[in-house]
């Protein structure tokens, strides 16, 4: 089956969607829309056969287009996606799904009502590295998950419509949504803006879980070096995930502690340290967006459930909303339910 797709937004990320859909069996990119004529002429030079338009409605009214991919600024996501669903198109939409959880709910309801696929581009969960971590968690190799501790900083593109939480922390939240068996129960965030009138460009976010698991995310657009490093601690093994490593992105350490001795008098128990081997598993090296495009195709054609469907998108937006509230109240924890 051939799925004809139209892409809205050909700025920084849109070209990656066009390239990957063009190269994925079954998809045919037939149209691109961007408000910026210059971006459209770049698209036309690269893909002369693809129609281009400044009016996204042209894509929505085209009966030949089954599916729409949206790669525009976050503040435009809700309107564009709602219009696309109402026009009967399946939707592939950039992270974060929407600006509010309420909007996300509306999109989910609209997609369900019309039996359409709503898929959110939580790119990282389609990487070989994150899929391997999920496999380790599922098999119980890491044991009980104790913490997720991540640093995601660089001299990044300052966004004007969203804070660094919505741009960078969203990646960690989507990874955690995919690998953690439990959802967080509360969130606390602090952060600051160093450009007047702009949203926070540095933020620290803590997430609390019922079973004492904890997560900390440190995100920053104003860092002199690029770091993409996550430590995941479990009762049996620990993982270091460094996305900037060219091949050995994941290292698994057989390290940890065991309590030794007196169960009745726990305060007397000794902590024994375990320091075993470290290994770096072989990872699937396909581009995440390619794996994701294939997944999206299976959702459309075979009715498979997407691991980053509207509900996953909404869970992430709910945390981002709560974190934003907390940030505005200098870290006051906000309960999630
Ligand atoms: N998955 C990822 O790893 C990843 C990476 C970067 C960006 N993104 C996401 O992609 C989205 C876009 O980010 P970007 O960095 O490419 O932004 P960008 O500003 O570079 O590009 C957005 C483009 O959308 C166009 N646009 C805006 N409104 C439009 C409309 N109504 N119709 C047609 N075109 C319209 C703009 O002209 C612009 O060219 C954001 O949601 C962002 O979070 C995701």
Ligand 1 centroid, distance to 245 Cα (angstroms): 27
Return left, alpha or beta for 140; rule: phi > 0 is left, psi -120 to 50 is alpha, else beta.
Answer: left
Pocket of ligand 1 (CB under 6 A): 8-14, 33-36, 39, 56, 71-74, 76, 94-95, 121, 123
The best mutation among 6, 7, 8, 11 to test binding of ligand 1, ranked by most ligand atoms within 8 Å of the C-beta, falls on 11
Rounded to 5 degrees, φ, ψ at 49 are -85, -10
What is the helix, strand, coil percentage profile of the chain, to 5? 35, 30, 35
Ligand 1 centroid, distance to 54 Cα (angstroms): 14
Ligand 1 centroid, distance to 159 Cα (angstroms): 11
What's the pLDDT tens digit per position in 210-242?
A: 999 999 999 999 999 999 999 999 999 999 999
- Ligand 1, atom 25, residue with closest C-alpha: 9
- What is the predicted pLDDT for the residue at 251? 98
- Those residues with Cβ within 8 angstroms of residue 45's Cβ, 6 or more apart along the chain or in another chain: none
- What is the predicted pLDDT for the residue at 1? 79
- Partnered with residue 33 across adjacent β-strands are 8, 53
The mean of the pLDDT values for the chain is 96
Q: Is the pLDDT of residue 330 over 90?
A: yes
Q: Which domains does the chain have, with CATH numbers?
A: 3-124+288-308 (3.40.50.720), 130-284+319-335 (3.30.360.10)
Across the range 123-140, mean pLDDT stands at 98
The best mutation among 9, 83, 173 to test binding of ligand 1, ranked by most ligand atoms within 8 Å of the C-beta, falls on 9
Q: What is the DSSP string of 153-175?
A: EEEPPPPSSS-HIIIIIHHHHHH
What's the pLDDT tens digit per position in 258-315?
A: 887 766 666 767 888 989 999 999 999 999 999 999 999 999 999 999 999 999 999 9
Ligand 1 centroid, distance to 77 Cα (angstroms): 9
Ligand 1 centroid, distance to 211 Cα (angstroms): 38
- What is the predicted pLDDT for the residue at 259? 81
Q: Residue 201 carries which DSSP code?
A: S
Across the range 155-176, mean pLDDT stands at 94
- What is the predicted pLDDT for the residue at 146? 97
- What is the predicted pLDDT for the residue at 263? 64
pTM beyond 0.85: the answer is: yes
Which is more confident, 4 or 264? 4
- What is the predicted pLDDT for the residue at 264? 66
Q: Is the pLDDT of residue 81 over 70?
A: yes
Ligand 1 centroid, distance to 280 Cα (angstroms): 35
Q: Report yes or no: 163 and 317 within 8 Å, Cβ to Cβ.
A: no
Report the nearest atom of ligand 1 relative to the CA of 33.
Answer: 33
Q: Give the residue among 117, 69, 78 at the shortest CA–CA distance from 96.
A: 78
Q: Give the residue among 257, 222, 252, 225 at the shortest CA–CA distance from 238.
A: 252
Q: Are strands 334-335 and 250-260 parallel, antiparallel or unpaired?
A: unpaired
What's the pLDDT tens digit per position in 62-76?
A: 999 999 999 999 999
Ligand 1 centroid, distance to 328 Cα (angstroms): 26
Residue 198's pLDDT band (cuts 50, 70, 90):
very high
Across the range 148-166, mean pLDDT stands at 94
């Amino acid at each position: 089956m051939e799925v004809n797709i139209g892409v809205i937004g050909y700025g920084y990320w849109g070209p990656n969607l066009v390239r990957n859909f063009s190269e994925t069996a079954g998809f045919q990119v037939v149209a691109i829309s961007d408000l910026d004529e210059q971006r459209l002429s770049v698209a036309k030079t690269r893909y002369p056969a693809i129609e281009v338009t400044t009016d996204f409605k042209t894509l929505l009214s085209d009966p030949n287009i089954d599916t729409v991919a949206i790669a525009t600024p976050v503040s435009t996501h809700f309107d564009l996606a709602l219009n696309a669903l109402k026009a009967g198109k399946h939707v592939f939409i950039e992270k974060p799904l929407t600006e509010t959880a309420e909007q996300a709910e509306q999109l989910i309801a609209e997609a369900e009502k019309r039996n359409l696929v709503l898929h959110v581009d939580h790119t990282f969960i389609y990487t070989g590295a994150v899929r391997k971590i999920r496999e380790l968690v599922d098999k119980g190799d890491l044991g009980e998950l104790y913490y997720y501790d991540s640093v995601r900083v660089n001299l990044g593109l300052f966004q004007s419509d969203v804070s660094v939480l919505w741009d960078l922390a969203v990646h960690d939240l989507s990874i955690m949504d995919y690998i953690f068996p439990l959802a967080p129960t509360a969130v606390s965030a602090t952060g600051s803006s160093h450009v007047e009138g702009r949203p926070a460009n540095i933020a620290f976010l803590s997430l609390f879980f019922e079973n004492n698991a904890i997560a900390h995310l440190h995100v920053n657009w104003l860092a002199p070096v690029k770091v993409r490093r996550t430590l995941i601690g479990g009762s049996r093994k620990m993982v270091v995930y460094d996305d900037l490593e060219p091949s050995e992105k994941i290292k698994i350490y057989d390290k940890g502690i065991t309590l030794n001795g007196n169960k009745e008098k726990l305060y007397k128990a000794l902590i024994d340290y375990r320091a075993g081997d470290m290994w770096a598993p072989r990872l699937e090296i396909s581009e995440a967006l390619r794996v994701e495009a294939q997944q999206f195709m299976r959702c459309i054609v075979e009715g498979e459930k997407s691991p980053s469907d509207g509900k996953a998108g909404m869970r992430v937006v709910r945390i981002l909303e709560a974190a934003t509230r907390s940030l505005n109240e200098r870290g006051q924890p906000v309960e999630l339910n």
